[in-house]
Structures are given as structure tokens and as C-alpha cells.
Amino acid sequence: MASESTVTTCYRHPKVESHVRCTRCDRYICPDCMREAAVGHQCVECVREGARSIRQARTVFGGRITTAPVLTYSLIALNVLVYLGELARPAIVDRFAMLGAVLRGPDGGHYLWQYPYPPELHAEGVVGGQWERLLTGAFLHLPPTQGTFGILHIVMNMVSLWNIGRVVEAQLGRVRYLALYLLSALGGSVLVLLLAPGSPAVGASGAIFGLGAAYYVMARRLGADMGTVNRFMAGLLVWLLISAGLTSWQGHLGGLLAGAVVTLVYAYVPRGPRRGTVQAAACAGLLILLVLLTVGKVTALTRG
């Protein structure tokens, strides 16, 4: 019979006798604390520490590999919820649509921008301090009563987001994908401000055109069959031309350009420990540029 001094116990359960050691930390572990390893058994703490030290697989663009396009689903849900809000309160569109500069009179009507403006009118839009319109307009869509286009506006955009977004999100990961989406939406709004400040604009099309540009750049980077990709881009550009008479082509073009710039950085920054930092800095640089363009245009409008 072994003496009491030679009895070994589990380091987590001192009252449980144990004769098995963890292969990593060499501590005694009982059956409840054993985790099967490639060689022998490990304790729960070593298994947990090992899991933290394993590098997660990433795509060519630096994004973490995801199993489901959760962000794309969330964006679609958000757009649909906002649309239902529009149906309940149509005034939401008038208040939060992308609008650069107009004048509103005491009768509630809109007037063309002029500066200086009569005291009975007041500035409305980004020039009036409503900077949130630069993003909120990207989550609004034309109401069903808006001509023949009507509800097709949100239906076409959400179908496009479903088809393109899932592919782009899988390659970029959620953080890079969200930055791309928002910067594309913002880029579209800024171009509307620069070229058509008096025209209201709504729709996720600017962000979706940015995703389309990302799809093209990623396909080139991955060496994919460009035949299908080129046909897709041709259709996108045709829609850009058609949209000139239906919605804001400026928003579409601005989103396309912003999305292309962001994805080019994602795709061609060399791999390394600083790749994520460089990509984030490029996104921040584009954001600063868009803000400066906005400030410059607002300043020009308010100086006459």
C-alpha cells in the first residue's frame, strides 16, 4: 500500500487522487479535467491557452473567414425595417434623404438654393448642418407611390445586395466589409453634394455599386474567370447610364469610385503584420478626403 505522502491529487480538485500529468504543464489532472490531445492528455487551462495562441485563418485580403454572411443579412434587414418606417411615416424620407442645399419657406415648400437668401427662408440639407443626411439617405428608398419605379427600387437594391454582398463579405470579413459599405455610401452622397446639391437622393445603390467595384477588383486579384465578371460589370455600367433618368447617377458613380479605391488597398497591400494597419489608414484617409470635400462644397455654397 502506498504511503500517504506519495498520493498525488488533481491540481484543480485536491481531494481527487490522480496519476496522470498534463503533457504541457506537467500538473496532475483527474478524469474530469483531462482533454485528449495529439499526444497524451492536457488540462483545461492548457487547452484554452492553446486555442488562443492558434492563428485564425484569413483570406487573401486579410479578412477572417466567416461561415455565414451575417452582416449582409443585417444590412438587408435594416433597409427593410427603415422602408417599413417610411410607409408608416412618409415624412422620414423628406427629413433624412440625401440633400445638399435647398431653401425651405414658411409654407413648407422647397426653393432653389441662393446665397444670401431672404430672411423668410431657411437653409436645409447638409449646408444647413444636417450632415447625417450623408449616410441616412443610403438607407432610404423611393416609396411605392413614386412613379413606375416605386417599390422596385428597394427590391432591386436588396436583391443586388444579397447577390453581391455575400461574396464580398466572405472574402473581406465583417470589419473590412462594413468599412467598404459605409465609405461607398458616403462617397456616393458626397458626389451628389458636389454635382447636384439641390437634388434629393435616396437608396442603397451607391453602397451596392461600391460592392460591385469590390467584386471586380477581388476577382482580378484572385485570378478568377473574368468573362463572367466583365459581363456583370457591363450590366452594372449599363444600369449606371439608365439610372441617370430614374435615380441619382452621381450617387452610383461616387459609390463605385469609393468602393474601387478601398478594395484596391485591401487587395494589393503586401501581407505582413502591418497590413491591417495600412488598410485601416487608407480607409481613414478616404474618410478625411470625403469630409474635406464636403466642408469645401458647403463653404463655397455659403459664400455665394
Domain residue extents for the chain:
7-53, 70-301
pTM: 0.81
Using CA atoms, how far apart are residues 228 and 106, in angstroms rounded to an integer? Answer: 54
Write the pLDDT tens digit of every residue in 207-255. Answer: 999 999 999 999 999 888 888 888 888 888 887 777 666 678 999 999 9
Asked if residue 126 lies in contact with residue 133, where contact means CB atoms within 8 angstroms, the answer is yes
- Tell me how far apart the alpha carbons of residues 175 and 140 are, in angstroms, rounded to a whole number: 23
Q: Taking Cα atoms as reference points, which of 194, 193, 188 lies closest to residue 240?
A: 188
Closest by CA to 249, choosing from 258, 240, 239, is 240
Tens of pLDDT, residues 136-159: 999 999 888 776 677 888 998 999
Residues in Cβ contact with 17 at an 8 Å cutoff, skipping those fewer than 6 apart: 7, 8, 9, 10, 30
Grid look-up 433624412 returns 96
199 CA to centre of own chain:
25
Q: What phi, psi does 123 have (nearest 5°)?
A: -70, 140
**Cβ contacts of residue 27 below 8 Å, gap of 6+?**
11, 21, 43
Nearest one of 217, 294, 301, 222 to 259, comparing CA atoms:
217
Q: Given this model, what pLDDT does residue 235 score?
A: 83
Q: Cα–Cα–Cα angle for 218, 219, 220, nearest 5°?
A: 90
Amino acid at 167: V
pLDDT the model gives residue 148: 61
Give pLDDT, residue 51: 67
Distance separating alpha carbons of residues 209 and 156, to the nearest angstrom: 12
d(CA 115, CA 297): 13
Q: At residue 70, what is the residue type?
A: V
Radius of gyration of the chain (CA): 28
User: Looking at domain 70-301, which CATH architecture does it have?
Assistant: Up-down Bundle (1.20)
d(CA 218, CA 81): 30
Assess whether pLDDT exceeds 70 at residue 45: yes
Yes or no: say if 207 and 200 are a contact pair by the CB < 8 Å rule.
no
Is the Cβ–Cβ distance between 12 and 43 less than 8 Å? Answer: yes
User: Is the pLDDT at 2 greater than 80, yes or no?
Assistant: no
Q: What is the pLDDT of residues 246-290, one digit of tens each?
A: 678 999 999 999 999 999 999 999 888 899 999 999 999 999 999
pLDDT of 304 > 80? The answer is no
Q: Give CA torsion, residues 217, 175, 265, 283, to 10 deg.
A: 130
